[in-house]
Chains A and B, each alone.
Chain A
Amino acid sequence: MSTWGSRGNLSAKPGRDGRYPILTVENLSAWYGELRALQGISFSANAGEVVSVIGANGAGKSTLLRAMTGMMNLGKRAHIEGRIECQGRRLDRLRTEKIIEGGVTMVPEGRMLFSRMSVEENLLVGAHIPRARDGIKDRLAGIFEFFPRLAERRTQSVSQMSGGEQQMVAIGRALMSDPAVILFDELSLGLAPIIVDDIYDKVRQINERGVTCLVIEQDMRRALEVANHVLVMLEGDIVLDGSPDDLSREEITNAYFGTRPEGVA
């Protein structure tokens, strides 16, 4: 079987409360120039969880992902403050390649594949970090076993593939770095519902292999179906944080549309 999906289980250590936080965000703020896009948010994700982050357009979901992958540190105009840790390692001051090396990777919105490269080449680029180069052939074979469609099209240019197939390549490429945490950004965007079902089924399977998943999704129903931990964002803040089993649909909907629940400032 493939070699990916082992890091989440192996690396997790119990936190002070006896649970297994793999990812911790503390008092995280993000600015685009003068505009504060994240308002000092805090949350943690336990090893093996699927955390769904939901919120309307402009709620700060994508900024959160950019902050977590070092993409907010690239210029003077955009910057972050606060603390992000994965497996006890501080990530918020690191460059993106060091964050990926540290076990956090991302399936970006719109797939962002390398359009002039084949399926196999895109997957191999996903294993560029030094840590992922050991066992690269086994991992590639594992990805082709997980997505048989990609094995059939391994030499095909990704620009000639359907949106669903491209999403498989994007997920496979993320898995090639042997991550502990994958950040999924708007997986359902531009895909037919039946394809989205398949893609989310794959997310569940990836999670079952021990990879912690953080899913950003505008489709609230999908996000709640796949999650065992929900964060609702509004205007750059987390207004609701809990298990979907403990939260009512009404609470989530109110938070999503801006009616803050009692007790939240």
Chain B
Amino acid sequence: MAGLSFEEQVYWTLIDLANALLTGTFIGGYYAILSIGLALSFGVMRLVNLAHGEFLIVGAYISAVILQVVNIPPFFVLFIVVPIMFGIGYGLQRFLLNRVSVQAMERRGMSANFGLMAPILVTFGLSIFISHGLLAIFASDAMSINNSLAFSAIRITSDLSVSTLRFIFFLFAIVLLIALFLFLRHSATGRAIRATSDNPTYATLMGINTEHVFAVALGISLAIGGVAGFMIGMTRTFQPFDGPQFILIAFGVVIIGGMNSIVGSLVGGVLLGIVQVLAGTYFGPSAQLVGGYMLVLAVLAFFREGLFSR
């Protein structure tokens, strides 16, 4: 900042900080949507879904393909993508993952450790299957969803602005997380999901069909993943093998916020977003990921179950 007065130096330092905080916060909403499905499937089924990132990419491809075929405003595609992804999640849990779930393994007399391992191996296999399936269908060319908002910004002051898409996605995240919270709190299905999450055996004794509840939970998880996939497609290009980078973000958010907390997902996403942008701003782009994962390590060191775990 050579040639600037002291007041100007302070002003630009504060502007940089404010831009980083704003951008980080709004990225946090996007990160929360990427992650909440992973937190839900772990919280309810104890399922570590290693294919979560690939399912986000599936959501992105479905959104992009529909928008290439049907001439509708981009956001309207969610009315098609969300039910499709819910159906994929419901069917996957009902007809495949319920057979290898922790509960199914325990019923067969396997140890709890083996019960945790089997679904991890199956979802790992699924992740490979999905990414190679996408490669076979779409080749390795990068795709994106064309939209007029991608390079648009909301100017707050002459020196302070935020991406329009990031702002919209942050509002989306708030609305989606509030809706999910109200659904889990006040609907019969939501209570059944929470009861099953608390203890599947007790829930069965209450007349709850836990296999159906698990399927609904993964359906919701992937439906939100569909929204996340749409967001990915709107903000950047994507390819069949992009899943792992998103599951890394999702794991980071879930570790910071806590495995079974909706509020934790939002707070975890915002914290990770802010730390990444601050690290990028002050130490260069290569420091973004390192900064984020230093935060993850710090949370693991001091709050082993996350900031909002119950």
The reply to whether B195 and A117 form a contact with Cβ atoms under 8 Å apart is: yes
State the Cβ distance, A174 to closest chain B Cβ, in Å. Answer: 9
CA distance A173 to B206 in the complex (A): 8
Could you tell me which A residues sit within 8 Å of B by CB distance?
A: 69, 71, 74-77, 95-97, 100-101, 105-106, 108, 112-117, 121, 124-126, 128-129, 132-133, 173, 177
State the Cβ distance, A251 to closest chain B Cβ, in Å. Answer: 34
| Chain B residues whose C-beta falls within 8 Å of the C-beta of A177 in the assembled complex | 206-207
The reply to whether A106 and B199 form a contact with Cβ atoms under 8 Å apart is: no
The reply to whether B207 and A124 form a contact with Cβ atoms under 8 Å apart is: no
The reply to whether B310 and A116 form a contact with Cβ atoms under 8 Å apart is: yes
CA distance A77 to B209 in the complex (A): 21
CA distance A115 to B198 in the complex (A): 7
User: Which residue of chain B lies nearest to A124 when distances are taken between CB atoms in the complex?
Assistant: B191
| Chain A residues whose C-beta falls within 8 Å of the C-beta of B60 in the assembled complex | none
User: Which residue of chain A lies nearest to B208 when distances are taken between CB atoms in the complex?
Assistant: A128
The reply to whether B206 and A126 form a contact with Cβ atoms under 8 Å apart is: yes
Could you tell me which B residues sit within 8 Å of A by CB distance?
A: 107-109, 188, 191-192, 194-195, 198-199, 201-209, 310
| 27 CB-based A-B contacts, threshold 8 Å | A71-B201, A71-B204, A75-B108, A76-B107, A76-B108, A77-B108, A97-B204, A100-B205, A108-B202, A112-B201, A114-B199, A114-B202, A116-B194, A117-B191, A117-B194, A117-B198, A121-B194, A125-B192, A125-B195, A125-B206, A125-B208, A128-B206, A128-B208, A132-B207, A133-B188, A173-B206, A177-B206
| Chain A residues whose C-beta falls within 8 Å of the C-beta of B203 in the assembled complex | 114, 125
User: Which residue of chain B lies nearest to A98 when distances are taken between CB atoms in the complex?
Assistant: B207
CA distance A101 to B204 in the complex (A): 12
| Chain B residues whose C-beta falls within 8 Å of the C-beta of A126 in the assembled complex | 206
State the Cβ distance, A79 to closest chain B Cβ, in Å. Answer: 12
The listed residue with most B CB atoms (<10 A of its CB), out of A69, A77, A128, is A128
The reply to whether A101 and B205 form a contact with Cβ atoms under 8 Å apart is: no
The reply to whether B191 and A128 form a contact with Cβ atoms under 8 Å apart is: yes
Given A77-B108, A112-B199, A116-B310, residue A129 in contact with residue B191 (CB < 8 A) = no
The reply to whether B107 and A121 form a contact with Cβ atoms under 8 Å apart is: no
Given A114-B194, A128-B188, A133-B188, residue A96 in contact with residue B108 (CB < 8 A) = no
| Chain A residues whose C-beta falls within 8 Å of the C-beta of B207 in the assembled complex | 96-97, 100-101, 105, 128-129, 132, 177
State the Cβ distance, B261 to closest chain A Cβ, in Å. Answer: 11
Instruction: State the majority secondary structure of interface residues on A.
Output: loop
Instruction: State the majority secondary structure of interface residues on B.
Output: helix
Q: Which of B109, B206, B209 contacts A75 (CB 8 A)?
A: B109
CA distance A115 to B207 in the complex (A): 18
State the Cβ distance, A107 to closest chain B Cβ, in Å. Answer: 10
State the Cβ distance, B186 to closest chain A Cβ, in Å. Answer: 10
| Chain A residues whose C-beta falls within 8 Å of the C-beta of B109 in the assembled complex | 75, 77
State the Cβ distance, A64 to closest chain B Cβ, in Å. Answer: 15
State the Cβ distance, A3 to closest chain B Cβ, in Å. Answer: 17
CA distance A96 to B212 in the complex (A): 13
The reply to whether A95 and B209 form a contact with Cβ atoms under 8 Å apart is: yes
| Chain B residues whose C-beta falls within 8 Å of the C-beta of A114 in the assembled complex | 194-195, 198-199, 202-203
| Chain B residues whose C-beta falls within 8 Å of the C-beta of A113 in the assembled complex | 202
Given A75-B109, A133-B188, residue A112 in contact with residue B205 (CB < 8 A) = yes
The reply to whether B202 and A74 form a contact with Cβ atoms under 8 Å apart is: no
CA distance A98 to B146 in the complex (A): 50
The reply to whether B195 and A96 form a contact with Cβ atoms under 8 Å apart is: no
CA distance A126 to B191 in the complex (A): 10
| Chain A residues whose C-beta falls within 8 Å of the C-beta of B206 in the assembled complex | 100, 125-126, 128, 173, 177
User: Which residue of chain A lies nearest to B213 when distances are taken between CB atoms in the complex?
Assistant: A128
CA distance A217 to B203 in the complex (A): 23
| Chain A residues whose C-beta falls within 8 Å of the C-beta of B194 in the assembled complex | 114, 116-117, 121
The reply to whether B205 and A116 form a contact with Cβ atoms under 8 Å apart is: no
The reply to whether A116 and B198 form a contact with Cβ atoms under 8 Å apart is: yes
| Chain B residues whose C-beta falls within 8 Å of the C-beta of A106 in the assembled complex | 205
State the Cβ distance, A16 to closest chain B Cβ, in Å. Answer: 31
CA distance A129 to B194 in the complex (A): 16
Given A114-B199, A116-B198, A117-B198, residue A108 in contact with residue B191 (CB < 8 A) = no
The listed residue with most B CB atoms (<10 A of its CB), out of A69, A71, A114, A115, is A114
| Chain B residues whose C-beta falls within 8 Å of the C-beta of A125 in the assembled complex | 191-192, 195, 203, 206, 208
User: Which residue of chain A lies nearest to B212 when distances are taken between CB atoms in the complex?
Assistant: A97
Q: Which of A69, A75, A117 contacts B205 (CB 8 A)?
A: A69
| Chain B residues whose C-beta falls within 8 Å of the C-beta of A75 in the assembled complex | 107-109
State the Cβ distance, A156 to closest chain B Cβ, in Å. Answer: 16
CA distance A167 to B20 in the complex (A): 53
